[in-house]
């Protein structure tokens, strides 16, 4: 009888979708990105890239420029090292190729049209649709640009090549701001999709 019950439990147990290292790195990245954005808005207000636009002080982090810089750099290093860990584990386990490829323009277009019509299926959360694959790959690039442009702004003299790749110090600030806007747009879209498919949040918390 014990074996019979064990067999039944094994059959009905939900499949593991997200391993522990994915969930931990995901939430650390989310925390780092949120802190970087909120503190970055306070830093932006001290010297606006596009005056007279400023972010409302109530939604910024740090209280003043020095405090915001401390929060910003702490989150930057968390994002940097956690991002390296996430990428290395994805490559080492083969998850990167398995989850994000193949990715074909026709599939992206088809899934995008289906999503706009409300017909995109989310029955199998273990697989990303083409739109998700593209969005996740793009946000990885955006995060990389954020870090590189941030370093070019932080240490323009120590990293002259990186500064020049960004088009100079002032251009690096514009690149950094635009990358932040893209990240904020991704966060809003991501939260919206989670609201539409709440089961996806459970898989990132429980893994199943």
| Tens-place pLDDT, residues 94-122 | 888 888 888 888 988 988 888 777 777 76
The Cα–Cα gap between 75 and 33 comes to 7
| Tens-place pLDDT, residues 57-78 | 899 999 889 999 999 999 989 9
The reported pTM is 0.82
Tokens of 40: 């970055």
Residues for the chain: how many in total?
208
Q: How far is CA 208 from the centre of its chain?
A: 21
Write down the pLDDT at residue 41: 94
∠ CA 18-22-26, nearest 5°, is: 115
Give the number of other CB atoms < 10 A from CB of residue 141: 11
Mean pLDDT for the chain overall: 85
């Amino acid at each position: 009888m014990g074996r019979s019950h064990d067999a039944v439990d094994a059959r009905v147990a939900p499949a593991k979708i997200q391993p522990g290292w994915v969930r931990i790195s995901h939430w650390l990245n989310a925390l780092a990105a949120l802190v970087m954005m909120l503190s970055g808005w306070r830093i932006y207000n001290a010297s606006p890239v596009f005056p007279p636009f400023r972010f409302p002080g109530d939604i910024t982090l740090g209280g003043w420029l020095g405090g915001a810089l401390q929060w910003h750099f702490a989150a930057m290093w968390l994002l940097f090292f956690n991002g390296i860990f996430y990428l290395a584990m994805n490559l080492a386990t083969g998850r990167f190729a398995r989850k994000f490829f193949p990715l074909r323009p026709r599939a992206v277009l088809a899934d995008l049209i289906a999503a706009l019509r409300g017909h995109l299926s989310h029955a199998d959360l273990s697989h990303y649709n083409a739109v998700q694959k593209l969005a996740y790959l793009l946000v990885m690039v955006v995060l990389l640009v954020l870090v590189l442009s941030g370093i070019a702004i932080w240490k323009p003299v120590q990293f002259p090549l990186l500064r020049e790749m960004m088009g100079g110090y002032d251009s690096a600030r514009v690149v950094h701001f635009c990358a932040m806007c893209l990240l904020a747009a991704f966060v809003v879209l991501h939260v919206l999709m989670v609201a539409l498919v709440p089961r996806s949040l459970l898989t990132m918390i429980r893994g199943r």
